[in-house]
Amino acid sequence: MKIALLTGASSGLGRMFAKKIHEVFPEIDEVWVVARRLDRLETLQKEVTDVKIVPVAADVTLDEDREAIFNRVKTENAEIALLINNAGCGFHGAFEKSNMEEQARCIELNVLAMTKFTRSALNHMPKGARILTTSSIASFVPNANMAVYSASKAYATFFSRALNEELHASHRSATAVCPAPMNTEFLTVGHVKGNSKTFDRLPYCDVEKVAVGALKAAKMRKAVYTPRAFYKFYRILVRLLPEGLLVKMAKT
């Protein structure tokens, strides 16, 4: 049985990934959606009718929850054809005045849990399998007022790109998707909405287009996918301009 294993599936981009997986990967038999909020996963299960959705209530930062997930994968003799590391968080504000519990959560979820989850998943990923990790345009340049978040996403992008090279010999791949802001609850939960003039004036990405584009990029085994021409140009620009200038430009 081929499955897609999707973390952070209860809202935003993760929810859209769940709805679009079958469109791009029709060979997948089941989509296991992982998040802490079971009620939202059960609602998602009712909304998606083209592929079987399996709700898995878990906190991926907890060792025991991750262990339970992969024990179930082994018990059900499932092959992870597609892993989507989408669980993540980020918080806006000057680091000196920030809530350290929130910042620690950001590192724990975006870096440690994602790394551990990927390592465990690889034990169940056969030849041809793909990994898709949600990063951000914030990974291109250090973002003042989102220092921890941008650092965590730089890790995600670099980790994914290096892993993609390592997996090439085993005919597996890793893709990092680096979107710009989207209209999701991330903006309110992360104290971004109404607090950042930079975010207010940036062109937003469409969640559905990001999800489909990222899945197609993973299908094609691209190392990095950046939605929208504006941000593709930005990705090129950061290679050309002095870093000091870029950091000032990227301040949120």
- Of 65, 20, 11, 60, nearest to 40 by C-alpha is 11
Residue-wise pLDDT for 174-230, tens only, equals 999 999 888 887 877 777 766 666 777 788 889 999 999 999 999 999 999 999 887
Q: What percent of the chain has pLDDT over 90?
A: 77
Helices and strands counted in the chain (H then E) = 11, 7
- Of 139, 134, 115, nearest to 218 by C-alpha is 134
Residue-wise pLDDT for 28-52, tens only, equals 999 999 999 999 999 999 999 999 9
What span, in angstroms and rounded, lies between the C-alpha atoms of 198 and 145? Answer: 11
Q: Which residue has the higher pLDDT, 220 or 246?
A: 220
CATH topology of domain 2-249: Rossmann fold (3.40.50)
* Mean pLDDT of the region 7-23: 97
Looking at residue 187, its pLDDT comes to 73
168-201 residues labelled b (16+ CB within 10 A) or e (exposed): eeeebbbbbbbbbbbebebbeebbbbeebebbee
Residue-wise pLDDT for 98-112, tens only, equals 999 999 999 999 999
Residue-wise pLDDT for 52-77, tens only, equals 999 999 999 999 999 999 999 999 99
Looking at residue 194, its pLDDT comes to 64
- What residue spans of the chain are helical by DSSP H? 12-24, 38-47, 63-75, 100-107, 114-122, 147-167, 186-189, 197-201, 207-219, 229-237, 243-249
- Whole-model pTM: value is 0.94
pLDDT above 90 for 240: no
pLDDT above 80 for 121: yes
Looking at residue 248, its pLDDT comes to 78
What span, in angstroms and rounded, lies between the C-alpha atoms of 217 and 157? Answer: 15
Judge contact between 204 and 183, C-beta under 8 A: yes
Assign 244 a pLDDT band (cuts: 50, 70, 90): confident
| Pairing between β-strand 224-225 and β-strand 173-177 as defined by DSSP bridges | parallel
Looking at residue 252, its pLDDT comes to 73
To the nearest whole number, what is the mean pLDDT of the chain?
93
What span, in angstroms and rounded, lies between the C-alpha atoms of 226 and 234? Answer: 10
pLDDT above 80 for 249: no
* Mean pLDDT of the region 219-248: 86
What is the Cα 132 distance to its own chain's centre? 7
pLDDT above 90 for 242: no
Looking at residue 99, its pLDDT comes to 93
What span, in angstroms and rounded, lies between the C-alpha atoms of 232 and 218? Answer: 17
Distances (CA, A) of 2 to 18, 79, 129: 15, 5, 10
